[in-house]
Structure 1
Amino acid sequence: MINVINLKTVLRNKRFLVFTIVFPAIWFIFMDLGIGTFAKNLTMTWFIISALMGIIGNSIVTFGKRIGNSKEYYLIAIKTTPYTPFRWIMDSMMQQILLNLLILCVLILEARIFGAIFFNLSTLLLIIILLLLGIYFSFVGFLIGVVAKTDLLDMAGFPFMCVVALLIMPFYTFAQNKFFDVVTDIQKLFPGYYVIKLANVIQNGGSYEKLAWLFALTFVIHVAIILFLFFRAVKKGIQ
C-alpha cells in the first residue's frame, strides 16, 4: 500500500514528469532529428545520455528530496513498529525501479517511433545495465536524503546532479590532456563511467566482458559503502 501511494504521489508531481520524462525525450528528438542527420553512429550514445538525464534526475534529486521529507516518519516507524531499515530500502528501491523503467519505456517507444534504435538483445542488455545504474543512483539519493537536511537538498540538488553527470561524461572521446586524463582516472572508480563505453562496444559488436565486470565490481563496492553509511545513520537517528 505504501508503494502504491508513493508511486501515485510521484506520478502526480509535475516536476517529475517535466524534468525526468518530457525534457530527456525532447533532448533525444533534437539530437536524433537534428544533429543525428550527420552522425547516425552516435544514436545509441544519445539514447543512453537522454536516459541518464531522466534516471539521475529521478534517482538523486527527486528521490533524495522525497526521502529527506519523509525520513522522520520512517525513523519513528522503525523505532516503534516491526518496520525495519531493510524493508524501507526494499520498498524504496522497488518504487525507483518502476519509475526508472517508466522513463526507459517512454524513451524506447519514442526511439522506435522515429526508427532511431532497434530493439534486440544488445538493446535489452543496455536497458538492464541502465536499470542497475538507476538502482545505484537511487542508493546515492537515498543516502543523501537520510543524512542531509531538507533545505540543503533544495539548494544543492541540481549542482550535485551536475557533479554526478561529470563522472559519467566521456571526456576521453574528445579531449586528450593531463587534466582530462586525471578526470578520467577518477571516473573509472564509479560505475557510471562504464555505461557509455559498454554502449559503444555493444553497438559495434566488440567484446564487453571486461567492462561488464568492472561495472559490476564498482557497483557492488559503492552500494556496500552506501549501505554501511545508511545503517549507521539510521542507528544514530533512532537512538
Structure 2
Amino acid sequence: MINLINLKTVLRNKRFLIFTIIFPAVWFIFIDIGIGRFTKNLMTVWFITSALMGIIGNSIVTFGKRVGNSKEYYLIAIKTTPYSPFKWIMDDMLQQVLLNLLILCILTLEAIILGAISLNLSLLPLIIVLLSLGMYLSFIGFLIGVICKVDLLDMAGFPLMCVVALFITPFYTFVQNKFFDVVTDIQKLFPGYYVIKLANVIQNGGSYDKLIWLFVITFVVHLAIILFLFFRAIKKGIQ
C-alpha cells in the first residue's frame, strides 16, 4: 500500500515527468531528426544514451532526494519497530525498478516508432542490462540520500548526474589520446561502461557473453561496497 502511494506521488511529480521522461524523449527526437540520417549505425547508442538520461535522473537525483526527505521517518521506524534496513531497501528498490521500467518502456516505444531500433529478441538483453544498471544507480542514489543532507542534494543534484555520466560516456568512440585512454581504463571499473559496449555488440550481432560477465562482476563488487556503507550509516543513524 505504501509502495503504491509512493509511486503515485512520484508520477505526479512534474520534475520527474519532465527530466526523466519528457526531456530524454525530446532529446532523442532531435537526435533522430538532426543527425540520425548520418549516424544510423549509432542509433542504438543514442537510444541507450536517452534511456540513461532518464534512468540517471530518476535513480540519482529524484530518488536520492526522496530518500533524504524520508530517512528520518525510516530511521525511527527501524529503531522502534520490527521494520528492518533490508526491508527499507527492498521496498524502495521495487519502486525504482517499476519507475525505470516505465521510463524504458516509453523510450523504447518511441525508438521503435521512429524506426531507430527494431523490436526483436536482441533488445531483451539490452533492456535487462539497462534495468540492472538502473538498480545499481538506484543503490547509489539510495546511499547518497541516506548519508547526505537534503539541502546538499538540492545543490549537488546536477553535478552528481554529470559525474555519473562521465563514468558511462564512451569517450573511446570519438576521442583517442593518452588522457582519455586512462579515463577509459578507469571507466572499466564501473558497470556503466559495459552498457554502451553491449549496445554496440548487440547492434552488430556479436557475442556479448564476456561483456555480460564483466558487467555482473563490477555490479556485484560495487553493490557490496554500497551496502556496507549503507548499513554502517544506518548503524550510526540509530545510535
- Fold similarity call, TM over 0.5: yes
**Cα distance in 2 between the residues matched to 1:187 and 1:145:** 24
CA displacement 1:119-177 (0-9 Å, x = unmatched): 11111110000000000000000000000111111111110110100110001111111
Equivalent residue runs for 1:210-221 within 5 Å: 210-221=210-221
Residue 28 of structure 1, CA deviation:
0.7
Matches within 5 A, 1:112-123: 112-123=112-123
- Residue 132 of structure 1 corresponds to 132
The TM-score, its normalising length taken from structure 1, stands at 0.99
Residue by residue over 1:88-145, the C-alpha shift from the partner in whole angstroms, topping out at 9 and shown as x without a partner, is 0000000000000000011111112222211111111100000000000000000000
1:40-51, aligned counterparts within 5 Å? Answer: 40-51=40-51
Matched, 1:209 2:183: no
**Residue type of the alignment partner of 1:72:** E
Amino acid at match of 1:95: Q
What residue is the counterpart of 1:222 in the other structure? Answer: 222
Aligned residues: 239
Letter in 2 for 1:160: L
Q: How does 1:111-190 map to 2 (within 5 A)?
A: 111-190=111-190
What is the distance in 2 between the residues matched to 1:163 and 1:176? Answer: 20
Q: Could you say what secondary structure the match of 1:41 adopts?
A: helix
1:109 match: 109
Instruction: Work out the CA distance in 1 between the residues paired with 2:41 and 2:181.
Output: 25
Query: Residues 182-201 of structure 1 correspond to what in structure 2 (within 5 A)?
Result: 182-201=182-201
1:238 partner letter: I
Secondary structure of the residue that 2:36 maps to in structure 1?
helix
Residue 33 of structure 1: how far off its partner (Å): 2.1
Instruction: Give CA-to-partner distance per residue, 1:177-215, whole Å, 9 cap, x none.
Output: 111011111101100000000110111011111111110
**Alignment correspondent of 2:96:** 96
State the alpha-carbon separation in 2 of the partners of residues 74 and 2 from structure 1: 13
Query: Which segments of structure 1 move beyond 3 Å, counting only runs of 4 or more?
Result: none
Q: Give the drift of 1:39.
A: 1.4
Letter of the structure 2 residue corresponding to residue 224 of structure 1? A
CA RMSD of aligned residues (A): 0.7
2:2 counterpart residue number: 2
Q: What is the match of residue 14 of structure 1?
A: 14
In the alignment, the residues of structure 1 paired with residue 114 and residue 157 of structure 2 have an alpha-carbon distance, to the nearest angstrom, of 33
